[in-house]
Structure 1
């Protein structure tokens, strides 16, 4: 015969009635103290705090948020394929920066990855459902369905990046045109004559603007045949694009890749082809991410303040939620060039 010992019954959760009885005050006084909605004397406050500790009362944030019509949650929406969400260190850094700002304000982050039309529909329903008080949106395109959702719902929002159709919504970003122009000019100053570009994400502002800056830096020397266009800021795209460029223009002696991941892929393709970097081909990237320092040789690149972008976007959303920011804000952060051995 097997003896089975019954599990003890769960302890009854303490309620505000228990606190009121222990502290000798009304439930209304306790509510005013917990919600910060009115005056509570120092003596009553001390008795309430002691009673809470004694009975083990845990305030219900769910009930409080229902009264205030707040969730204390902010969505972090990334419009990228799921695999790139894990591969791209910039997205991770933006996420950490946003989470830091939200944590300081005692808000929870909800991560929402949009990698397909089905994802867009699901995330749109979630945002319309009132489950978050606002959202940070990363990698939005022009005419993005998520943009339409947050505009229709009048949801506090800050975009990382600046699609041209944002109009009356806040955003945080960098000057991609000027940054691309500067890094390309530095590459040209090393004496390169056949400079190519691996251009990515041309359906959003970051990719299109980096191509525009590259073109401006080259001026009359710009050759459209030396631009390899790929879909994503991915290592594998960099390998493929550099291989194609070497087939198309074997005399290429400089490459600007629109991200460090692309540049790392380009270095791999150049190594396979027996080209020395920087002696035969100078390579520069964009982001100053972990890719840049792990490459051999280390990448010359543009430092994108990814964590700073995330923090600034989250703080903008929090300010909107609190009613402290009523007009759309546009914030640009600095992007210094970091010169290393790859060029």
Structure 2
């Protein structure tokens, strides 16, 4: 069998076609359209095309011709090459420094993430979620952040003296923390709420319902939020504070509420009030109280913290502190974006209102 004679033709759309002597045409692999193709189709110079692509000024007529030519040739910008030249990745890392069980269960982290993504998306940035659940994850993410794969980072739930906090300061990456780890330098902004004041306010409200023996389930005491909420609880009780009525648990999760409530009932059967330092913890505590035959709020008043979806799922609905999680995410994204753009007037801290939301659990 004889091979057919053929020639190679390239169309404006960037597709290489093999044209055989018998008239049959087959398409080969697509070729990326270039600035040269746009210039030829628009009848302008490559320099004029580059000015349009880079946001520079050209006449309205030339801009219209170039935009029509871009559509005609099917031009797609080579973002990777452009970013390499600009030394930008147009990506921001979102780091949740929590075990995967808490990450999946805590609706606040999801809300913070969605709020941040909304702002970054409008700015043309991709948010990259980075989960740290082990020491190996910490090492891997540290290499990733140091390698220039992201232009900035938003860090949630950093522990005291976390290696990621230290690394961010060392490499000078534009970053914003949600919350304020005690070792955070003044050069790195943070967004949060007044955990001390909010915990004090809801504990005082619980005390006003004539509860006499009030305990606390206190998670995450290796984080600023956990320590601050315990501080607010202690300040509200004053001389009535009893350290034996503080049950420490590792995480802001339902399991922590179950374990903490069992501890408190063992220590003080006459307990009549509980401050659970998150809504998920409060939900676990209320389950244990039901199993023990304790009515909420008749026998034991329970209050939480966050005003998350957990608060609506409990029976009765949970009295809690409203944490504006989506707005926290939005503000964090705005601050990191401003740093990436070189803004030197980024505030060092942003504290958002966190009012008490009173329902029927106390």
- The corresponding residue for 1:91 is 109
Q: Which has the higher contact order (CA 8 A, sep 6+)?
A: 1
- The corresponding residue for 1:222 is 241
- The corresponding residue for 1:139 is 157
| Unaligned segments of structure 2, at least 5 residues | 1-25
Q: TM-score under structure 2 normalisation?
A: 0.91
- The corresponding residue for 1:207 is 226
1:58 aligns with 2:76: yes
Cα deviation, residue 43, structure 1: 1.5
SS of match in other structure, 1:10: strand
Query: Is the contact between residue 316 and residue 325 of structure 1 (CA under 8 Å) also seen in structure 2?
Result: no
Structure 1, residues 69-103: CA drift from partner, whole Å, max 9, x if none? 11110000110001211110000000000001101
Distance 2:303 2:220 in 1: 17
- The corresponding residue for 2:47 is 28
Query: Is the contact between residue 184 and residue 214 of structure 1 (CA under 8 Å) also seen in structure 2?
Result: yes
Cα deviation, residue 25, structure 1: 1.6
- The corresponding residue for 1:19 is 38
SS of match in other structure, 1:319: helix
Structure 1, residues 163-197: CA drift from partner, whole Å, max 9, x if none? 12112210001000000000000000000000000
SS of match in other structure, 1:62: helix
Q: TM-score under structure 1 normalisation?
A: 0.96
Cα deviation, residue 326, structure 1: 4.5
Query: Is the contact between residue 335 and residue 346 of structure 2 (CA under 8 Å) also seen in structure 1?
Result: no
Structure 1, residues 9-62: CA drift from partner, whole Å, max 9, x if none? 3333322221111011222221111112x3222111111100001111111111
Distance 2:78 2:129 in 1: 23
Provide the alpha-carbon RMSD of the alignment.
1.2
Query: Is the contact between residue 141 and residue 203 of structure 1 (CA under 8 Å) also seen in structure 2?
Result: yes
Cα deviation, residue 323, structure 1: 1.2
**Which protein shows a greater Rg?**
2
Query: Is the contact between residue 160 and residue 172 of structure 1 (CA under 8 Å) also seen in structure 2?
Result: yes
- The corresponding residue for 1:316 is 335
Q: Give 2:60's match in structure 1, choosing from 28, 32, 42.
A: 42
- The corresponding residue for 1:184 is 203
> How many pairs align?
336
Higher strand fraction (1 or 2):
2
Distance 2:75 2:255 in 1: 54
